[in-house]
Amino acid sequence: MTVLSPDLIALHLTGTTKDEIISQLVDVAMASGNVSNREEAIASVQERESRMSTGMKHGIAIPHGKTAAVKDLVACIGVSDHEVDFDALDHQGCRIFIMTLSPLEKTGPHLQFLAEVSMLFRSEEKRQAILNAKTPEEILDILKPQPLDN
């Protein structure tokens, strides 16, 4: 995970609705100093959600937006202690939120990032480890690509 650092990971999100979670995630991204306009960033993610929910399966949601409020890809992860209704494909609540904000004119970086996190959809073990993590550093460790067994 090249774009993530401990300050871009929030444990114990308190939001109980999709909009509250999006707002909290944008606040995490804002703290990195890489988002120039909070309202614009929130609006871009909410606009994308209004077209189609980014609630996936297995308790994961990947809210994202394209906005002039960022110059480069900004990604953050939030974990909630309780399930939040994110209109997920499997109709289950979500607890792991992976948000990206991308510049309007670039598509490559966020697709690369989503490809990197896609292993979470396949690994119950990694999802559970993220839910059990006590620190942002633990989450970064879980998300590190594993060397292939020879």
Q: Residue 149 domain-assigned?
A: no
Residue 148 maps to a domain: no
What number is the average pLDDT over the span 5-28?
96
Nearest to 3 by CA among 65, 64, 107, 77: 77
Note whether residue 150 is domain-resident. Answer: no
Whole-angstrom Cα distance, residue 51 to residue 34?
26
Window from 26-30, 78-82, 120-124 with minimum mean pLDDT? 120-124
CATH code, 124: 3.40.930.10
Give tens-digit pLDDT for 51-90: 999 999 999 999 999 999 999 999 999 999 999 999 999 9
CA 75 to chain centre: 6
Residue 22 near residue 43 (C-beta atoms within 8 A): no
Domain count, the chain: 1
112 inside domain: yes
> Which residue is it, tokens 């937006």?
65
Establish if 24 belongs to a structural domain. yes
Say if 1 falls within a structural domain: no
Can you give the residue range of the structural domain that contains 50? Answer: 6-143
Residue 147 has pLDDT above 70, yes or no: no
Region 96-110: what's the mean pLDDT? Answer: 87
pLDDT at position 135 is 97
Model confidence, pTM:
0.91
pLDDT at 1 over 50: no
In the DSSP assignment, the letter for residue 57 is S
Q: Is the pLDDT of residue 120 over 80?
A: no
Helix residue ranges, H only, the chain:
18-31, 38-51, 108-117, 119-122, 124-132, 136-143
